[in-house]
């Protein structure tokens, strides 16, 4: 079975992906499949994680990068390769180039997380920090390619890249032959397009669902228009799928083969990442958690068994800390309150005793007596509490009110 790819490229066919799978033997890991009892209970059918977060370099990107660079001619290899990326593609190109003995230069934004910059260098690439946003970095890389003759390795819009990513689809069918739905995050569309080509060629009955961050959802308007459309702005913490325009090659494949594209919010991404860490013991970046976010937001909207592709696990520790805090808030695990007390000895101790009865853990407390808005005998207390979920938040607030406290926030 073949599918159209526009321009001078030949159609992408299943044999291309099978050829890529042979090429990647001994290079890319056949990543594991892990079941999720929690999501299975919500969905009402088995849910499995395809753990590309445990792939070499921490994401699926090695697959496409290796296939693309391995397909270069000797003359092209001698000229070296260049790429632009904030993280995952950078590391995939760096390692693939090192394995193939090709010189690589990777442009990264000035503000790229230091662990990703360090990892890219350790994999053997020359890293150049240029541009404040990825678009500026991309332009710098393309200019370098024109000046030096180095081959530009696009992160998603090339048949070899798509074929390499499509090997994930072959593995899913081999590891979970009973699968009925595959859920995968979409940025530029390389992974979703590759998986869809493989899955639909062998199992046309399997539904492929793409997931985008709501702040970077270029595919829904593009699909409505019938051609790729660029967003005016993109804003999401999921940098792995933070792409403002579908690829010219990936778009028609997604249009033809992906059954549905859903969007998820930042709160849903945070909650999904928290679930992966707490329940599955998986370190997953926000883009990799997007399929989980889709399942959590509408668990009954998926026909099982379901395979959710955890596409990557490269997350900066500082970002992880912020995301987990955000996820705890979104999941109702934190509660912030402001209330007023009579300013007398023992009043604060009595408040803390009430909170203890409500089984709320105090994370932070601020006790103010000098605000001019306060009465002569008043003090204001701001509390940040750790709770057990939304119902417990309501119980804590109710306990305080029943004890006579007036909650301001």
Q: Which of 30, 53, 37 is nearest to 175 (CA)?
A: 30
First to last CA, the chain: 60
Q: Each residue of 177-187: pLDDT tens digit?
A: 999 999 999 99
Asked if 262 contacts 210 with a C-beta cutoff of 8 angstroms, the reply is: yes
What integer pLDDT is reported at residue 371 of this predicted model? 66
pLDDT over threshold 50, residue 1: no
Asked if 300 contacts 320 with a C-beta cutoff of 8 angstroms, the reply is: no
Q: Each residue of 324-343: pLDDT tens digit?
A: 777 677 777 788 888 877 77
Q: Place 256 in a pLDDT band, splitting at 50, 70 and 90.
A: very high
What integer pLDDT is reported at residue 13 of this predicted model? 85
CA 41 to chain centre: 23
Q: Place 196 in a pLDDT band, splitting at 50, 70 and 90.
A: very high
What integer pLDDT is reported at residue 186 of this predicted model? 97
What are all long-range contacts of 314-318, with beta carbons under 8 Å and residues at least 24 apart?
314/57, 314/58, 314/59, 314/87, 314/88, 314/91, 314/115, 314/116, 314/119, 314/240, 314/285, 315/283, 315/284, 315/285, 315/286, 316/113, 316/114, 316/115, 316/116, 317/115, 318/113
Beta bridge partners of 295: none
pLDDT over threshold 70, residue 409: no
| CB atoms closer than 10 angstroms to residue 226 | 10
Q: Place 364 in a pLDDT band, splitting at 50, 70 and 90.
A: confident
Region 65-72: what's the mean pLDDT?
97
Asked if 232 contacts 144 with a C-beta cutoff of 8 angstroms, the reply is: no
Hey, which residues are catalytic here? 61, 311
What integer pLDDT is reported at residue 132 of this predicted model? 77
What integer pLDDT is reported at residue 369 of this predicted model? 64
Q: Place 375 in a pLDDT band, splitting at 50, 70 and 90.
A: low
* 59: CB partners within 8 A, 6+ apart: 52, 53, 88, 91, 92, 240, 285, 288, 311, 312, 313, 314
Q: What angle (nearest 5°) sits at the alpha carbon of residue 207, between those of residues 206 and 208?
A: 115
Q: Each residue of 201-251: pLDDT tens digit?
A: 999 999 999 999 999 999 999 999 999 999 988 888 888 888 889 999 999
Higher-pLDDT residue of 190, 383: 190
Could you tell me how many residues make up the chain? Answer: 409
Asked if 269 contacts 290 with a C-beta cutoff of 8 angstroms, the reply is: yes
The three state secondary structure string of the chain is CEECCCCCCCCEEHHHHHHHHHHCCCCCCCCCEEECHHHHHHHCCCEEEEEHHHCHHHECHHHHHHHHHHCCCHHHHHHCEEEECCCHHHHHHHHHHHHHCCCEEEEECCCCCHHHHHHHHHCCCEEEECCCCHHHHHHHHHHHHHHHCCEECCCCCCHHHHHHHHHHHHHHHHHCCCCCEEEEECCCCHHHHHHHHHHHHHCCCCEEEEEEEHHHCCHHHHHHHCCCCCCCCCCCCCHHHCCCCCCCCHHHHHHHHCCEEEEECHHHHHHHHHHHHHCCCCCCCCCCCHHHHHHHHCHHHCCCCEEEEECECCCCHHHHHHHHHHHHHHCCCEEEEEEEEECCCCHHHHHHHHHHHCCCEEEEEEEECCCCCCCCCEEEEEEEEECCCHHHHHHHHHHHHHCCCCECC
Give, to the nearest 10 degrees, the angle between helix 14-23 and helix 159-175.
80
pLDDT over threshold 70, residue 52: yes
What mean pLDDT value characterizes the chain? 90
Asked if 86 contacts 239 with a C-beta cutoff of 8 angstroms, the reply is: yes
């Amino acid at each position: 079975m073949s599918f159209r790819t526009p321009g001078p490229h030949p159609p992408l066919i299943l044999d291309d992906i099978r050829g890529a799978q042979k090429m990647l033997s001994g290079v890319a890991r056949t990543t594991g499949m892990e079941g999720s009892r929690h999501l299975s209970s919500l969905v009402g059918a088995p849910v499995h994680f395809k753990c590309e977060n445990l792939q070499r370099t921490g994401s699926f990107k090695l697959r496409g990068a290796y296939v693309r660079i391995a397909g270069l001619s000797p003359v092209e290899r001698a000229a070296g390769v260049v790429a632009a990326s904030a993280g995952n593609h950078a590391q995939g190109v760096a390692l693939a180039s090192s394995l193939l003995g090709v010189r690589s230069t990777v442009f990264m934004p000035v503000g790229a997380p230091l662990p990703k910059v360090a990892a890219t260098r350790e994999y053997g690439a020359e890293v150049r920090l240029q541009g404040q946003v990825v678009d500026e970095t991309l332009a710098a890389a393309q200019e370098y390619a024109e000046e030096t003759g180095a081959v530009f390795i696009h992160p998603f819009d090339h048949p070899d890249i798509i074929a390499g990513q499509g090997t994930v689809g072959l593995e899913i069918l081999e590891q979970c032959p009973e699968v009925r739905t595959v859920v995968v995050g979409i940025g530029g569309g390389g992974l979703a397009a590759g998986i869809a080509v493989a899955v639909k060629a062998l199992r046309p009955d399997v539904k492929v669902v793409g997931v985008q961050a709501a702040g970077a959802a270029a595919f829904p308007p593009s699909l409505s228009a019938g051609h790729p459309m660029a967003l005016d702005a993109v804003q999401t913490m999921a940098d792995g799928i933070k792409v403002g325009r579908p690829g010219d090659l990936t778009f028609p494949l997604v249009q033809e083969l992906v059954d549905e594209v859903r969007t998820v919010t930042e709160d849903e991404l945070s909650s999904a990442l928290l679930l992966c860490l707490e329940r599955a013991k998986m370190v997953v970046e926000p883009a990799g958690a997007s399929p989980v976010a889709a399942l959590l937001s509408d668990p009954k909207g998926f026909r099982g068994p379901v395979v959710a592709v955890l596409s990557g696990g490269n997350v900066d520790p500082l970002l992880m800390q912020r995301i987990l805090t955000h996820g705890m808030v979104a999941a109702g695990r934190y509660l912030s309150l402001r209330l007023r007390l009579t300013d007398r000895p023992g009043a604060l101790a009595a408040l803390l005793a009430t909170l203890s009865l409500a089984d709320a853990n105090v994370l932070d407390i601020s006790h103010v007596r000098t605000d001019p808005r306060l009465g002569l005998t008043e003090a204001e207390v701001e509390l940040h509490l750790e709770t057990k979920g939304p119902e417990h938040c309501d119980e804590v607030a109710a306990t305080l009110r029943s004890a006579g406290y007036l909650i301001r926030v």
